[in-house]
Chain A
Amino acid sequence: MTMDRNISVELIKSYVLGCLNPEVEKGLKSFMEDTENFPWQELGQYQNLVAMLPLNLSFETPGLEVKDRVARKLYELRGEPEITQQAGEEIIISEQILADGEPQVLIDESPQEFLEEISPPELSEEIPEKTEILIEENLVVKEPEIPPKSKEETIEKIVSPTVEEHRRGSKMRDILEREEFEKRTREYINTYYQIMFEDIRSELKKVFFVAIAGLALAIVAIIISFIV
């Protein structure tokens, strides 16, 4: 691809701002790769220039918890090398199964090849290998620190659970009250029927005694009539 140097400088201005239309950007990128005549110095100058644009803004500070969030995310990343190790162990197990004469499974890669494939990419000499350092003790990524909390956070932390507890408390009270109500209702019903049954029973007893007494009188009357 041929491109005039002046044209490429013009394109650089839009490129560093990120507003070059996609097809033109593609052309500029291939020009960058293909030509030795590319104005790299101008590109660098305009990249620096564009990076100064935010200096016009009024700086704000992010919340204190953001640093903790970064630490937490990095802390979580420490698990990645362990996954690699687990994958390695699985391969060894598969190898043992094959050695024991179990039904053979066709494996395209040797365990070593597989490990190489999943190992982190090699870095330049100056930069130590990341995974080693991450495995090597977690020296690097600290435990998330607990920073001093702002007044607002403290209030939130204190107030929110209290409200929650209060809500939980009222729910609990509701449940207890309902149970008490049901218990009392049951007791009331039981007592009511108990009294009612007792009344009936006593009525029946009375009727029974009257009947017995009547029967006894009738028997006495019959006996007297026979004697007379």
Chain B
Amino acid sequence: MAENIKLTDGEVMLKVAGYDSQALEELYERYSPLLFTLINRIVENKELAEEVLSDVFVIIWQKIEKFDFKTNNVYTWLVLLARNKALDVLKRNNNPGMLPEYNDEYENEFIIPKLSDSIIPLNLEKILSKNSGITNALNKLTDAQKYVIELAFYHGLKEDDIAKKLNIPAPTVKSKIQITLGNLYKKFAPEIE
């Protein structure tokens, strides 16, 4: 366990791919606060969030072969995996029977994130060291921008649903998303390019 502390996220994932449970434990130690916070934000229930978090780590273990070791972006893969899983649980709880049966095929298609082949790797340690700058940039968004991002990212609403909910035209929603992500992109460019 102690030796894993020195490893990069990518190296830890490689050991997880070798079915090293201590590496999975190390990954849990590093990522569980971030992933739990994200999941809890989506499902808004601590006990359910803990259950989903444990499911996410089981998925990581079972579907490690789906992780792309060439691009090696552990941070984004885990965050998007946790988000997809949490939103799926939320939708299934809110609308039982509306989603297709949850099976292996479904999980591969809708829960496991498919990252771009050209994505640059992000490292949790590096990201957290720049957290204050990132937080400031996010806090500078207008309330409307924050709300649209909130509804899309944390509530899993589609553009049309957001337009209905806010009682604004769909093109306005699209435009807000374009502007918001465009502005954030400019601020975060050094980290994400």
Q: Do A47 and B115 touch across chains, with their CB atoms under 8 A apart?
A: yes
Cβ of B72 under 8 Å from chain A = no
Residues of the A chain whose Cβ atoms lie less than 8 Å from the Cβ of B193:
45
Cβ of A48 under 8 Å from chain B = yes
Q: Do A49 and B135 touch across chains, with their CB atoms under 8 A apart?
A: no
Q: Do A55 and B33 touch across chains, with their CB atoms under 8 A apart?
A: no
Given known A-B contacts A40-B117, A57-B38, A74-B58, A67 and B25 have beta carbons under 8 A apart: yes
Residues of the A chain whose Cβ atoms lie less than 8 Å from the Cβ of B106:
none
Specify the chain B residue showing the minimal Cβ separation from A50.
B153
Residues of the A chain whose Cβ atoms lie less than 8 Å from the Cβ of B61:
74, 77
Cβ of A21 under 8 Å from chain B = yes
Residues of the A chain whose Cβ atoms lie less than 8 Å from the Cβ of B20:
140
Interface positions of B from 156 to 174, Cβ below 8 Å from A: 156-160, 162, 174
Give Cα A113 to B162, complex, Å.
51
Cβ of B90 under 8 Å from chain A = no
Cβ of B87 under 8 Å from chain A = yes
Give Cα A71 to B21, complex, Å.
9
Q: Do B119 and A48 touch across chains, with their CB atoms under 8 A apart?
A: yes
Cβ of B147 under 8 Å from chain A = no
- Min CB gap A225→B, angstroms: 110
Give Cα A55 to B53, complex, Å.
17
Q: Do B49 and A14 touch across chains, with their CB atoms under 8 A apart?
A: no
Cβ of A148 under 8 Å from chain B = no
Specify the chain B residue showing the minimal Cβ separation from A76.
B58
Mark contacts of B36-63 with chain A using CB atoms, 8 A cut-off: 1 yes-contact digit, 0 otherwise.
Answer: 1110110000000111011101100110
Mark contacts of B127-154 with chain A using CB atoms, 8 A cut-off: 1 yes-contact digit, 0 otherwise.
Answer: 1100100110011000000000101110
Residues of the B chain whose Cβ atoms lie less than 8 Å from the Cβ of A44:
71, 73, 115-120
- Min CB gap A107→B, angstroms: 26
Interface positions of A from 58 to 103, Cβ below 8 Å from B: 58-63, 65-67, 69-71, 73-74, 77
Q: Do B181 and A21 touch across chains, with their CB atoms under 8 A apart?
A: no
Q: Do B36 and A57 touch across chains, with their CB atoms under 8 A apart?
A: no
Give Cα A62 to B56, complex, Å.
13
Given known A-B contacts A18-B87, A21-B159, A66-B54, A51 and B36 have beta carbons under 8 A apart: no
Q: Do A56 and B153 touch across chains, with their CB atoms under 8 A apart?
A: no
Interface positions of B (Cβ within 8 A of A): 17-21, 24-25, 28, 32-34, 36-38, 40-41, 49-51, 53-55, 57-58, 61-62, 64-65, 69, 71, 73, 75-76, 79-80, 83-84, 87, 113, 115-120, 122, 127-128, 131, 134-135, 138-139, 149, 151-153, 156-160, 162, 174, 177-178, 181-182, 184-185, 188-189, 191-193
A-B CB proximity, top 8 nearest: A44-B119, A44-B116, A19-B152, A48-B192, A51-B76, A43-B116, A51-B79, A56-B138
